[in-house]
Structure 1
Amino acid sequence: MTYPPPPLTGPHDEPLPTDPLAVALGNASLLGAGYLLMGRRALFWAAAVITVALVWMTAAVAATWCELVLLLWWAAVVAHGVRLARRRPRGPRLGQRLLALGLTVPVLLAAGLLRLDAHGIEDDVTEARGGGDCEAVTAAQDRVWFGHRVAAAPVAARGDTAVEACERLDRAETELATGLNGDPNGLRSGFRLLASVLEDPADEKTVQASLDRFLGRLPTGDACETVRITDWLHARTPARNVLDRSFGTASRLAPAALAGCGDDLMGERSWSQARARYERLLAEYPDDSRADRARQGIRKAVLAVELERVEERVRATHGMTSGYCAEPAKYSGAPARREGTDRALFLGDDEYTGKLPDGWRTTDPKKAALVVCAGLPDFGRPVETCPYRDDETQRITNVTFRKVAVPVKVYELRTGKRLADRTLQIDGASCPQLFLTYGSAPSNKYVAPSGSDVRDAFSSLIKR
């Protein structure tokens, strides 16, 4: 076998007698020691530069192919060193071999131990991920140092990926916490982050742990806020993964949240919104133990709305053509009509209704069975005509005394139905011996009703 002529060397790159095995062992350290044994300093520096570049690339890229490239480079420099050594005179064997072993064995031993330790750390990270414990994942990965990243870069990188996933889960929990505090975008952002981490099946348990911590904070102290959250969870598109556990939690918490929200809204006098929550509870969870409570809540809300409407119209009443008298409304909680005297709300002109007994009147719609609207009084039917002499003119005038005509409308408060629309005729004393007047005597004058006369006139409206 023939070999090409040896390369030209400079005065400071003189080939030395070497042992091929020693050269192989020296180059196996990736430190270029074999080239130094041959006196090939230029090759030593070139190999060193390439080795450093490959080691840096392996640590930076952390891909298996980088390790394969580094392995091929290791094999190449070993083979190249042996090939060059065989073309040189044989040198002392033992001393060169011991020197080469002294360099290579520590390097290879350190690399092997670092790889072994890196795999042990990876096992701890994997175990922590399987247990859903992100704190343990981070603690295990914190043991990784530069040596691990050089000797077992892909293994260390997988741990970094697990830690990065835990960091995203931490951000997800922060977003979900804002969702619990009223930020509608927090739930959306949090679940989006959870879904992105879940793309790696190895993170299923850590995602589940984060989700469980979020769900464990439900219900919130605000029942209506809990309703908003459970509604959002129900509206999610099923993903057929661990995130769908939220549906069960939402279904479990929603009935109590709807009932509690209805109660809170009742306390805030938001009757219509409260009724809507109770009705949702009955529609969506008809068999829930809170169904009777919801029915009672609906009844209370309906009565509250009716009562509020009645009170508004009563306050707006200034006569027969305004407020309740113009637009009556029902209050289903009003007392039913009964035998005897019903209490009534007397609205409109109170010249005569103000003289009725206290037991007949009330200002509280919750205690009234009737609403009586009274208009302005006018002359009613004639009772008696009497002659009167004017003291100054001695002129005699016939004065007709007439009953007091009071137009009234009567409504049953419980139903809002009109029971009567007529004019009351209030009787009273007529033809007194004297009466004062300004100017000439009037041709018509009201009788003088007594308290009993007023009661007699109005009793027909409120007594059964």
Structure 2
Amino acid sequence: MSTAQAPDDTPEYGPEGTTDPEPPVNRDPLAVILGNASFFNVGYLMLGRRGLAAVTGLVTLILLIILGTAARTLWFEIVVLLWWTALVGHGWYLAQGWPRGRHRGGSRSRLILGAAFFLPVLLAFSLLRVHVASINSRVAAAVRTGDCRRVAAALDDRWAGDYLANAPGAVQGAGTGRVCGELGETAARLAAVVTNSDPNSLPPELKNLSAVLATHPDDDKLVLRTLDDFLGRLPLSNPCDTTTVLDTLGSYSTRDAVRDRAKAVVPRLAPAALVGCGDREFQSKDWNGAKSSYQRLLDDYPQSPLAPKAFIGLIAANQAIELDHVRTGLGAGSDTSYCSNPATWSGATPYRAASPNRAVLRGDSAYTNQLPADWVVDDVAKAPLVICVSPKEQGDIVQSCEYQSGSVLTSLYGTNTVSFHKIAVPIRVIEVLTGHVVANLFVQVDGTICPAVISYTTYGSFDTGPSPDEYVDAPDTDVSAAVRDALAPIISP
């Protein structure tokens, strides 16, 4: 019976059966390359180089931290790439059997292990670069439409992994993000112009927009969108503030797209703002301000559909100014200076347009107490006439009489002639509309003459006798009635 000896699979180390004290390492170049290419330095571990794996792993970690935080630039990404290439090349170099004579065949399990580390890293790296490209695409689309909100939303999707996979790409939109941050602050201040009706803060914000446009011309749509958002919130609640804002926009002098866009909105909004401001000023009795606003619209926008309304407002403002002048000229109740220098009011009712023609009284009121109540008003705005009543004067002589006067103490007597005059009341009636004199009356009232005794005043022993001119004796009621009768054909024809 024959026997067979199984082949001895035990490897022989060294020549002619001598034993190598260090067992050989199972080196598979592809497995080592994949292991090191994963950035986990698994290839070195496959080679049994734990110390080398630890040192190179620490360096790799430091480089990745710097790349992801401090040096997000292309040149540092090249540094990391060179380090990665060095790891792969060094692993391949060692896996080829250095020193020579120590190479054995590869192991499928080690190849799978290397691939298990490398492929997920490769997949993650690829996905992250796709993610960065997607973010940059979204940022570019948002810039084309001038939408900073979409820019911010896209940039908010970045995370540390993006900087590790594509640092230059991940920071590509950072400049746009800073521009949008600055524009956001400007937009907030422009919003305050609207919410606080504070047009004085507008000029510096326009300069800010121009400054951003000058330094970042490629982001012009973002700048103009910020301006458009503000312009879209006009007009303000106060039309006078709107007018101030539009004046600022129209007078902005920097020659750029900001100025062009700002000026373009002025003709569209200015007519309504000017009319609204004029109406507001009119209601607050700022007649001159209202007149200026209405006149500006007629001068700057004569073809505007609001021009007729502005013309009517201008007439009303002029009439209000005239009425103020009339009221000032009338003065207090006893002042009759108006009738010597009358101011006109184009809004007054023409004389004889209605009966009775009501009047405002000025001057001496002693003989106007019997005028009918519906003839007299206190406000000249309700009266087509102003009646100025001067103090009584001596009218025509009715009769002259002789009186004997003298001092009993001195026994000096003499004869004096005394003339008795009618009681005369000068009255001037002025039409408020034109300032013309409607009537110049001199009402005279007769009465009792030549009484038996006339009393007069002497000064010590000096006696000049009675006054040579005296009024007839007539009741005030008779004078008042005469005044009423003289005015009746004028006030109530």
TM surpasses 0.5: yes
Q: Report the 3-state secondary structure (helix = DSSP H, G, I; strand = E; otherwise coil) of the residue aligned with 1:379.
A: strand
User: Structure 1 counterpart of 2:72, which letter?
Assistant: A
Does residue 419 of structure 2 align to residue 413 of structure 1? no
Q: Is the Cα–Cα contact under 8 Å of residues 386 and 400 in structure 1 kept in the other structure? A: yes
Kindly provide the CA deviation profile for residues 171-202 of structure 1, in whole angstroms up to 9, marking residues without a partner as x. 33321221113223543454455456655466
Q: Report the 3-state secondary structure (helix = DSSP H, G, I; strand = E; otherwise coil) of the residue aligned with 1:383.
A: strand
Moved more, 259-268 or 91-100: 91-100
Does residue 169 of structure 2 align to residue 155 of structure 1? yes
Aligned pairs for 1:348-427 (under 5 A) are 348-356=363-371, 361-386=376-401, 399-406=418-425, 411-416=430-435, 424=442, 426-427=444-445
Does residue 136 of structure 2 align to residue 127 of structure 1? no
Q: Report the 3-state secondary structure (helix = DSSP H, G, I; strand = E; otherwise coil) of the residue aligned with 1:414.
A: coil
- Aligned mates of 1:225, 1:115 — CA distance in 2: 52
Q: Report the 3-state secondary structure (helix = DSSP H, G, I; strand = E; otherwise coil) of the residue aligned with 2:348.
A: coil
Q: Is the Cα–Cα contact under 8 Å of residues 133 and 206 in structure 1 kept in the other structure? A: yes
Does residue 142 of structure 2 align to residue 117 of structure 1? no
Kindly provide the CA deviation profile for residues 118-174 of structure 1, in whole angstroms up to 9, marking residues without a partner as x. 222332343344445544444444433322232122333234555554444443332
How far the C-alpha of 1:40 sits from its partner, in A, is: 4.5
Q: Indicate how the Cα distance of structure 1 residues 78 and 259 shifts in structure 2: closer, same or farther if over 3 A, else same.
A: same
Kindly provide the CA deviation profile for residues 204-240 of structure 1, in whole angstroms up to 9, marking residues without a partner as x. 5554544443333222332212212222221223654
Kindly provide the CA deviation profile for residues 264-310 of structure 1, in whole angstroms up to 9, marking residues without a partner as x. 11111111000100011011101111111111111100110111222
Residue aligning to 1:9: none
User: Structure 2 counterpart of 1:446, which letter?
Assistant: Y
* Alignment TM-score, normalising by the size of structure 2: 0.75
Q: Is the Cα–Cα contact under 8 Å of residues 130 and 202 in structure 1 kept in the other structure? A: no
Return 5+ residue gaps in structure 1 as ranges: 1-13
Larger Rg: 2
Aligned pairs for 1:163-312 (under 5 A) are 163-180=177-194, 181-188=196-203, 190-192=205-207, 194-195=209-210, 198=213, 200=216, 203-237=219-253, 239-241=255-257, 244-312=260-328
Aligned pairs for 1:431-446 (under 5 A) are 431=449, 443=467, 444-446=469-471
Identity %: 38
Q: Report the 3-state secondary structure (helix = DSSP H, G, I; strand = E; otherwise coil) of the residue aligned with 1:429.
A: coil
User: Structure 2 counterpart of 1:427, which letter?
Assistant: V
- Aligned mates of 1:359, 1:376 — CA distance in 2: 24
Return 5+ residue gaps in structure 2 as ranges: 1-22, 409-413, 459-464
Does residue 67 of structure 2 align to residue 58 of structure 1? yes
Aligned pairs for 1:40-59 (under 5 A) are 40-59=49-68
Moved more, 16-25 or 307-316: 16-25
Moved more, 159-168 or 99-108: 159-168
Provide the alpha-carbon RMSD of the alignment: 4.1
Does residue 81 of structure 2 align to residue 71 of structure 1? yes
Residue aligning to 1:145: 159
Residue aligning to 1:454: 483
Q: Is the Cα–Cα contact under 8 Å of residues 400 and 420 in structure 2 kept in the other structure? A: yes
Residue aligning to 1:88: 99
Q: Is the Cα–Cα contact under 8 Å of residues 131 and 206 in structure 1 kept in the other structure? A: yes
Aligned residues: 445
- Aligned mates of 1:455, 1:434 — CA distance in 2: 32
- Aligned mates of 2:114, 2:167 — CA distance in 1: 26
- Aligned mates of 1:239, 1:65 — CA distance in 2: 39
* Alignment TM-score, normalising by the size of structure 1: 0.79
Moved more, 304-313 or 264-273: 304-313
- Aligned mates of 2:67, 2:341 — CA distance in 1: 86
Q: 1:28 aligns with which of 33, 37, 45?
A: 37
Kindly provide the CA deviation profile for residues 15-71 of structure 1, in whole angstroms up to 9, marking residues without a partner as x. 967555544433322333344444545543443333223222222233222222222
